[in-house]
Chain A
């Protein structure tokens, strides 16, 4: 009897795996596709551009610094797979003014055709205790990380809706799945990207446009090095629970998920667990993804609660140590 029940369950799961492609998006074909990457001159953005270029895409890099752009363009062109491929560089601040962003993308589309895949990777980070972070960082980070993703997306959405096809990627962060000590200026910006993605996906789904939110972990990039300069001790200790990833690996995962049209993109086993745990009301692009979420969420929540407990005790320990050393300083 038990064997029969087990066999039945296995059969259902296999059936779901087979049926799944029927509801999943058709994969995007990268050869010849026009891929726009904001923040494409360094870090994860650069690696995403390289990854797409290797697969035959035409790239538009958008960033602020012209020199960095030209350097990156040379670097990317080494990976060309045919004679027709082009890397276009455009220098603009994607968070300042929508009109500018709109113009710049119009130019790009005149040269390389309509945008097939937009990767919103422009972003920056600042860490520190809530009361120590420079006050205007909250606004600045939100502008770059959030508005800098809203404006390019808005500039391409109408054309994608007309063509009934497209992919938009928002590069959030694991700090966009849970708030951590030291990230009061950064986490909200990355949470915001998820809210934008969920609402946008619901609007554009019947137009065969798929939105992907990527949640990379700490990744070895210039941006991460910058962020680490002001990182409080508590944040460093908490971050030690997961390891720093290589940008190339993160880029490969993001590109794969973008091609598939997966809403959720995560890296590694920590990322997998976190994504399932925080999947909330996010859409799924395959039945099996939904099934995994249903089955694993409970136990991952238990694990998550233990992690939260350990983070809280790290914070408390650091506070007590600091106070003890302040007291000994005073008595001396």
Chain B
């Protein structure tokens, strides 16, 4: 009974501005749909403009009132912070300050440590980690001013334990947890709450891509 006294007040989604990076497919798309169904205004961020427009049409089918908007912005969230900052400024000019940022942009590569293409380590870390740092940094000051906000980092079960074949992927997902823990400690008094999600293997285009190069050991271990 006492627990709610220390827990955060739930975020009200109707009318809230939700930004989803990696929102054009997979888990990101489903998160956008889920928030939209509950009345939120969505900003989808991804690289591919066509996929974004397709997803926007898909999401708009679930509208619950006339005012809802789905905004699409095409940018690579891992390349350059200035770009990401501009893009989020535009989004906030159109749909108001960001209430919930979902960092879902990410990709995966599996293989034995010595077989994984060398630049995958840097590339994966850029997309999965920097691609979450930059959008978060772009919204944090406004959230601190408003004394409210939610930031979600989509990690993975592979971010809770390292598994055979994931030497390029696990570190990126572990990193998100370190970022989330440190960030949460900084923003707690500002009523901003950080969530780290640890989804299991999820049926998405990203997972299908990852499975192409998956070593036997990884497949067998994943079968648990």
Is B159 part of the contact surface with A, judged by Cβ < 8 Å? Answer: yes
Whole-angstrom distance between the alpha carbons of A238 and B171 in the complex? 26
State how many angstroms separate the Cβ of A293 from the closest Cβ of chain B.
Answer: 14
* 0/1 string, B122-151, CB within 8 A of A gives 1: 100110011001101100110010000000
Q: Which of A139, A154, A183, A196 contacts B170 (CB 8 A)?
A: A196
Is B180 part of the contact surface with A, judged by Cβ < 8 Å? Answer: yes
Chain A residues near B176 (CB, 8 Å)?
188
Is A191 part of the contact surface with B, judged by Cβ < 8 Å? Answer: yes
Chain B residues near A234 (CB, 8 Å)?
186
State how many angstroms separate the Cβ of A161 from the closest Cβ of chain B.
Answer: 8
Interface residue SS majority, chain A? helix
* 0/1 string, A172-209, CB within 8 A of B gives 1: 00011011111110011111111111111111100000
Whole-angstrom distance between the alpha carbons of A130 and B174 in the complex? 18
Is B95 part of the contact surface with A, judged by Cβ < 8 Å? Answer: no
Whole-angstrom distance between the alpha carbons of A143 and B187 in the complex? 26
Is B178 part of the contact surface with A, judged by Cβ < 8 Å? Answer: yes
Interface size class of B (residues with CB under 8 A): 35 or more
Is B114 part of the contact surface with A, judged by Cβ < 8 Å? Answer: yes
Contact A150 B121 (CB under 8 A): yes
Whole-angstrom distance between the alpha carbons of A38 and B174 in the complex? 23
Contact A130 B178 (CB under 8 A): no
Contact B182 A180 (CB under 8 A): yes
Is A131 part of the contact surface with B, judged by Cβ < 8 Å? Answer: yes
Please report B residues at the A interface, Cβ cutoff 8 Å: 81, 112-114, 118-119, 121-122, 125-126, 129-130, 133-134, 136-137, 140-141, 144, 158-167, 170-190, 217
Please report A residues at the B interface, Cβ cutoff 8 Å: 98, 129-131, 135-136, 138-139, 142-143, 146-147, 150-151, 153-154, 157-158, 161, 175-176, 178-184, 187-204, 234, 280-282, 311-312, 315-316, 319-320
